[in-house]
Amino acid sequence: MQNSQDTFKKIISHCKEYGYIFQSSEIYDGLSAVYDYGPYGSELKNNIKNYWWSAMVKLNENIVGIDSAIFMHPTIWKASGHVDAFNDPLIDNKDSKKRYRADTLIEDFIANKIDKKITKEVAKARKRFGDDFDEAQFMSTNPRVLANLEKKAAIMERFTKAMEENDMAGLKAVIEENEIADPETGSKNWTDVRQFNLMFATKMGALAEGADTIYLRPETAQGIFVNFLNVQKTTRQKIPFGIAQIGKAFRNEIVARQFIFRMREFEQMEMQFFVRPGTEMEFYNYWKETRMKWHRALFPESKLRFHDHDNLAHYANAALDIEFEFPFGFKELEGIHSRTDFDLASHQEYSGKKLQYFDPELQENYVPYVVETSIGVDRMFLATISNALTEEEVPDAKGGTAKRVVLKIHPALCPVKVAILPLVKKDEALTSKARSIFEQLKFSHNCQYDEKDAIGRRYRRQDAIGTPYCVTVDTQTIEDNTVTLRERDSMEQVRIPISGLEQAIAEKLDLRNLLG
């Protein structure tokens, strides 16, 4: 059995080998936590964005899209709280010289040391008692479980308080008192904890001196907030309604060691849903379930879960993550946040411009409350590839077995939809027929024509990039205008007339299969 680190390494090397993702500036030894998307990667990324945009904007009459600029007025980041509060607590290990987020060290300690012990005790007891096992009773009476739960509660209480009060010494005390060690080296020789602002700053204008400092946006959401009235008035939307946006965001992440999971330049798909104050929890629950449904159309239920936030961001009165089981464990894939009227009220105060909505039913003006859904395109990409990369044993031509590497990405999201393959390259009748099918299909789908190498190798190549359908042109095609259509996952081949090909493929690739 493979360990999760091996699986993760395989994903990274597969992405590089098959043109999905390259290290940015690779020929200059790379730029840390910045990545480029290759030919197949950029197609998959576009398809993910299209799946999100269709689900959010196209299918909801009360959600509209925008595309706001990355650069914004610097006061926006003061009003949003990012200048003062968009910090991560940073700690260095003096021996290993490795840098960590203090909050992540503590959270990982709780998950890996305390939660795991409790899970083990429960599993042991379940085995011992079999069908008679009562988990709730066991959790509330077993002395070892109770001791661990008590320890966890005590750490959480101090940790949450230290985070809320910006108490860096308090965070360090939690790390030291619980003897939390550098996960890579085991050293407990730590520096003090310091706050580190995650925004990238630059200067606007030709002259650096005296020019205003502006920031590369750390979230796309603020572009939506400051356009709230422009959009509401021009589209005549009534509350509740949403504004969606896909775009780049930038964060100077302290720890960026997990490929495209945590990048310094990344892309977000965010939607702000503006609601009447007091109704926000209703919409928070609605979007929680709706977003989870979107993920479940792609991923098995066992790989997804909700995680309620213990530490709320400066703008939220409720928040949760939708977590995905990456090769390195369950981690945040998407955030759902009830942001109250924090952002609009603050922009109203800093700009001096009213950001209110006149509610015709209530006959009154108010600053709307906001429920936000926010997901990283790159993280969704990593989840998609992690879920798809499969190694399996398949029968070979000689009656034995062979290893097959296949990317089982949902057909609607695959970079290449159809490969058209003449059985042999030397037969001009086959190649010209295959070419004509390619010319016909390329207007509807992203297709590839491939005549190089034996047919088995070409199938493997298409499996590795995740192409869901291969159309093979053989001598029978010349006689009766039929081709074989091979399905990637089952490897089954069916014979169908060329005239029915386009429709058969279109049905299988329809985004409705996911959105239905």
Tell me the closest approach of the beta carbon of residue 336 to ligand GAP, in angstroms: 9
Length of the chain as a residue count = 516
CB 344 within 8 A of CB 371: no
Distance between CA atoms of residues 147 and 121, nearest Å = 12
Distance between CA atoms of residues 222 and 76, nearest Å = 8
CB 435 within 8 A of CB 447: no
User: Would you say 180 or 271 has its CB closer to ligand GAP?
Assistant: 271
If we measure between CA atoms, which residue out of 174, 128, 132 comes closest to residue 154?
A: 174
Amino acid present at 132: D
Tell me the closest approach of the beta carbon of residue 45 to ligand GAP, in angstroms: 13
User: Would you say 152 or 251 has its CB closer to ligand GAP?
Assistant: 251
Tell me the closest approach of the beta carbon of residue 58 to ligand GAP, in angstroms: 22
Both tokens of 154, joined, read 């005590």
Beta bridge partners of 210: none
User: Would you say 198 or 515 has its CB closer to ligand GAP?
Assistant: 198
If we measure between CA atoms, which residue out of 421, 389, 393, 419 comes closest to residue 406?
A: 389
Tell me the closest approach of the beta carbon of residue 290 to ligand GAP, in angstroms: 16
Cβ of 240: how many Cβ atoms within 10 Å? 19
Tell me the closest approach of the beta carbon of residue 54 to ligand GAP, in angstroms: 19
Distance between CA atoms of residues 282 and 193, nearest Å = 39
User: Would you say 182 or 343 has its CB closer to ligand GAP?
Assistant: 343
Tell me the closest approach of the beta carbon of residue 65 to ligand GAP, in angstroms: 16
Tell me whether the omega of the peptide bond preceding residue 89 falls within 30 degrees of 0, making it cis.
no
Please, what's the b/e burial string for 149-166 (b: 16 or more CB within 10 A of its CB; e: otherwise)? beebeebbebbeebbeee
Tell me the closest approach of the beta carbon of residue 93 to ligand GAP, in angstroms: 22
What's the Cα-to-Cα distance from 351 to each of 84, 226, 343, 410, 427, rounded to whole Å?
A: 18, 10, 12, 46, 71
Tell me the closest approach of the beta carbon of residue 232 to ligand GAP, in angstroms: 20
User: Would you say 93 or 245 has its CB closer to ligand GAP?
Assistant: 245
CB 420 within 8 A of CB 445: no
Strand, helix or coil for residue 303 = helix
Degrees, nearest 5: CA angle 341-344-348: 125
User: Would you say 253 or 450 has its CB closer to ligand GAP?
Assistant: 253
Residue nearest to ligand GAP (CB): 376
Q: Which helix (H) or strand (E) holds 221?
A: helix 221-225
Strand, helix or coil for residue 129 = helix
Contacts with ligand GAP by CB under 6 A lie at 219, 221, 251, 253, 262-263, 266, 268, 270, 332-335, 372, 374-376, 378-379
Tell me the closest approach of the beta carbon of residue 22 to ligand GAP, in angstroms: 17
User: Would you say 321 or 474 has its CB closer to ligand GAP?
Assistant: 321
User: Would you say 321 or 463 has its CB closer to ligand GAP?
Assistant: 321
User: Would you say 145 or 375 has its CB closer to ligand GAP?
Assistant: 375
Tell me the closest approach of the beta carbon of residue 482 to ligand GAP, in angstroms: 46
User: Would you say 182 or 334 has its CB closer to ligand GAP?
Assistant: 334
